[in-house]
């Protein structure tokens, strides 16, 4: 969380529920190098709320790594990292966003491999999804832009494969199912917009799904491909069947807009949880549709 007045990032260690504020007012890039910023006294213990499970479970990062000066971008002047490095996507490759372009970054060195910048003026990059197809020479990337455009990139070749207009306003979030080659996007409108990739890697829009209230912050598909969760500006989490996009549940707990949703990756379906984070500074955990319930 960042305080706009004091320029603080509050960092908590979930194993002990203790935290410390970091002053980032004078930092050039606090996301990459928070340890170089001034520290402040310890924060009060973090209060976690749990729903549907006796103990909250989280996936957390292992720690901060100091930044490394990136090499020249492959798309700019000079020579960068060879694009053959991107034939296979693994845990050492990540994606970061700049206002109008996408940078492919290799971890943990934080070395820029290449940049993706469309020829048309599509506005800022709002959301991205990178994945490795089962068949193909390299990873693909979906990007939602400020003007409502959805663009599919071939990362290895740095080429756009398909571009479609989804709506007049920004795409706030998107989720994609690589197994079924289906995706869905959300915006400030009162609808979700599903779409699919055909065999020629062309984006095909499908019928929208109406919502009661406008505004979606994030979308997440559970790992088994059965349900979809949306984080709503109306303080609610909505759950849909992913196959037919049939509404299944509305989860009401938060007192402000829900900003993020995520599913746990437990192998045992009975232990799967849905986590939701809200602007009210609370995290809710839900156990829902875990034991063979009909979600068709």
pLDDT in tens, 73-120: 333 333 333 333 344 455 435 454 457 889 888 888 888 888 999 999
Supply the pLDDT for residue 20. Answer: 63
Q: Which residue has the tokens 């996936």?
A: 59
Q: Which residue has the higher pLDDT, 269 or 56?
A: 269
Interatomic CA distance for residues 114 and 133, integer angstroms: 19
* Domain ranges, ordered by start, for the chain: 1-47, 48-286
Sequence length of the chain is 296
Q: How confident is the model at residue 57 (pLDDT cuts 50, 70, 90)?
A: very low
Comparison of pLDDT for 110 and 294, the residue scoring more: 110
295 burial type by CB count under 10 A (0-12 exposed, 13-18 middle, 19+ buried): buried
Q: What is the pLDDT of residue 58?
A: 35
pLDDT value of residue 239: 97
> Does the pLDDT value for residue 35 go beyond 60?
no
Sequence-separated (6 or more) residues with CB below 8 Å from residue 217: 172, 173, 186, 231, 232, 233, 257, 258, 259, 260
Mean pLDDT value of segment 197-214: 94
**Token pair for 139:** 């990873």
- In the chain, the percentage of residues whose pLDDT exceeds 90 is 50
Nearest to 96 by CA among 72, 82, 113: 113
Q: What local confidence, expressed as pLDDT, does residue 44 receive?
A: 56
pLDDT digits (tens, 9 = 90+) for 165-194: 988 889 999 999 999 999 999 999 999 999
Say yes or no to pLDDT of 8 above 60: no
CATH number listed for the domain at residues 48-286:
2.130.10.10
CA 15 vs. chain centroid, Å, equals 24
Strands 191-197 and 209-210: antiparallel
């Amino acid at each position: 969380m960042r305080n706009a007045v004091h320029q603080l990032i509050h960092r908590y260690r979930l194993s002990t529920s203790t935290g410390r504020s970091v002053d980032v007012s004078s930092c050039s890039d606090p996301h990459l190098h928070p340890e170089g910023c001034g520290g402040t006294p310890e924060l009060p213990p973090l209060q976690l709320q749990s729903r549907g499970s006796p103990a909250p479970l989280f996936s957390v990062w292992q720690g901060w790594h100091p930044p490394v000066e990136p090499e020249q971008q492959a798309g700019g002047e000079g020579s960068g990292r060879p694009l053959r490095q991107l034939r296979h996507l693994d845990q050492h490759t990540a994606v970061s966003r700049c206002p109008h372009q996408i940078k492919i970054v290799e971890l943990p060195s934080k070395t820029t491999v290449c940049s993706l910048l469309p020829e048309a003026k599509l506005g800022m990059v709002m959301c991205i999804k990178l994945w490795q197809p089962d068949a193909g020479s390299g990873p693909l990337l979906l990007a939602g832009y400020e003007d409502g455009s959805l663009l599919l990139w071939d990362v290895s070749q740095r080429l756009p494969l398909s571009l479609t207009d989804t709506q007049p306003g920004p795409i706030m979030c998107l989720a994609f199912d690589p197994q079924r080659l289906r995706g869905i996007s959300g915006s400030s409108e009162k609808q979700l917009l599903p779409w699919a990739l055909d065999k020629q890697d062309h984006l095909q829009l499908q019928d929208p799904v109406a919502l009661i209230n406008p505004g979606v912050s994030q979308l997440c598909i559970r790992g088994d491909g059965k349900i979809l969760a949306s984080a709503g500006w109306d303080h609610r989490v909505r759950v849909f069947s992913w196959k037919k996009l049939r509404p299944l549940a509305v989860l009401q707990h938060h007192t402000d807009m829900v900003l993020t949703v995520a599913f746990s990756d437990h192998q045992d379906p009975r232990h799967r949880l849905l986590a939701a984070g809200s602007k009210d500074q609370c995290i809710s955990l839900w156990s829902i549709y875990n034991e063979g319930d009909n979600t068709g």
